[in-house]
Amino acid sequence: MSLLEVSGLKLRFYSLDGPIEPLDRVGFQLEEGEVLGLVGETGCGKSITAKSIIKLISYSGGEIINGSIIFDHEDLLSKSEKEMQKIRGAKISLISQDPMTSLDPVYRVGDQIIEAIQVHKKLHYKEAKKKAVELMRLMGIPLPKKVFYQYPHELSGGMKQRIIIAIALSCDPALVIADEPTTALDVTIQAQIIDLFNKLKEQFQSAFLLITHDLGVVAQMCNSVAIMYAGNIVEKGSVKKIFHSPNHPYTKSLLECIPKMNQKQKKLMAIPGSVPHPLHFPTGCRFYPRCQYAMKKCLSQHPGLIKVDNDHFVACFKYSNNSNGE
């Protein structure tokens, strides 16, 4: 059995305009030590998938109405809030999008690492401090004993992100969910953080669920990819399969939007239109309004994921047996 198995996940919010279901039939697996990239444009449902896994979605008013989340042989959806508090930070940790606001401004950064260690590992302050300094050293923070006593506002964005990663790894979690961990950083710092992640995944035994809109980051860090569009997984497979033989028109378009170093390009390709709001999801294939291959049945029928190869699945009628455009 996989470390994490998400299947048939359906999420509902209640708005003044009626119920909204931003996730539907979301499913993927993550093996121990694997790095899975969850990719899609802004508004596709990536971050709420992460929040659903650790059951933080109810704090935003969401409700999981269908599906299952099995982590380390345990059904997370049947866990109480008290039980989830023991899992969050200890077995599953979350690195959120913005390092500028993720740390508490009134506490020293060292104490923020120690807090996570003391809560879950029950170590004395002296032992926890030793572990915190060691973690800071592993994160490539220069003069960790000095930085330990500094406040977040005294650190650069890159240093703050290293502290957040140290907190996330402080209890040796089996799964780290990293939600756009490089998006708020400038490009040189992004490259350093990607290097750091690549070193850490060798050193720690944790699996990573990397949420990103950046396929370049996926190519550098992941073993497998799940492409998400309008609350559905539309294609999933190994990095090699998705990058070298993508099937879904959305995946193909995302890859075509990446500038090519070895080709002269007058104009950068862009996917026409935008991701629909969950209140206005099309009834059939949700990519229908933006798809150049759309057929009549795409308008009314929802394509399920079908196997196209050993480790490659796609949700598109182009690849089903009777894709005759009826």
Residues that bind ligand SF4 (CB under 6 A): 249, 285, 287-288, 291, 293-295, 298, 303, 316-318
> Judged by CB, which is closer to ligand SF4: 161, or 253?
253
Taking the complex as a whole, the smallest distance from the CB of residue 23 to ligand SF4 amounts, in Å, to 18
Type and span of the H or E element at 238: strand 232-238
Taking the complex as a whole, the smallest distance from the CB of residue 237 to ligand SF4 amounts, in Å, to 16
Taking the complex as a whole, the smallest distance from the CB of residue 195 to ligand SF4 amounts, in Å, to 36
> Judged by CB, which is closer to ligand SF4: 89, or 284?
284
Long-range contacts of the stretch 97-104 (C-beta < 8 A, 24+): 97/47, 97/179, 97/180, 97/181, 97/183, 97/184, 98/184, 99/157, 99/160, 99/161, 99/163, 99/164, 99/184, 99/185, 100/157, 100/160, 100/184, 102/160, 102/164, 103/152, 103/160, 103/163, 103/164, 104/152
> Judged by CB, which is closer to ligand SF4: 204, or 319?
319
> Judged by CB, which is closer to ligand SF4: 166, or 225?
225
> Judged by CB, which is closer to ligand SF4: 197, or 229?
229
**Tokens coding 11:** 């999420």
Phi, psi of 20 (to 5 degrees): -120, 135
> Judged by CB, which is closer to ligand SF4: 50, or 316?
316
CA–CA distance, 322 with 1 (Å, rounded to integer): 33
Pairing of strands 232-238, 224-229: antiparallel
Q: Is 255 within 8 Å of 271 (Cβ atoms)?
A: no
Taking the complex as a whole, the smallest distance from the CB of residue 131 to ligand SF4 amounts, in Å, to 49
Taking the complex as a whole, the smallest distance from the CB of residue 297 to ligand SF4 amounts, in Å, to 8
> Judged by CB, which is closer to ligand SF4: 27, or 282?
282
Q: Sheet of 63-71: strands edge to edge?
A: 18-30, 4-15, 63-71, 74-75
Angle, vertex CA 182, rays to CA 180 and CA 186, nearest 5: 140
Taking the complex as a whole, the smallest distance from the CB of residue 276 to ligand SF4 amounts, in Å, to 13
Taking the complex as a whole, the smallest distance from the CB of residue 48 to ligand SF4 amounts, in Å, to 22
Can you count the helices (H) and strands (E) in the chain?
Answer: 11, 12
Taking the complex as a whole, the smallest distance from the CB of residue 317 to ligand SF4 amounts, in Å, to 4
Pairing of strands 74-75, 92-95: unpaired
Q: What is the dihedral of CA 147, 179, 53, 197, to 10 degrees?
A: -60
> Judged by CB, which is closer to ligand SF4: 148, or 317?
317
E strands, 111-186, in order = 175-179
CA–CA distance, 120 with 143 (Å, rounded to integer): 26
> Judged by CB, which is closer to ligand SF4: 198, or 274?
274
Taking the complex as a whole, the smallest distance from the CB of residue 227 to ligand SF4 amounts, in Å, to 11
Neighbours of 125 (CB within 10 A): 12
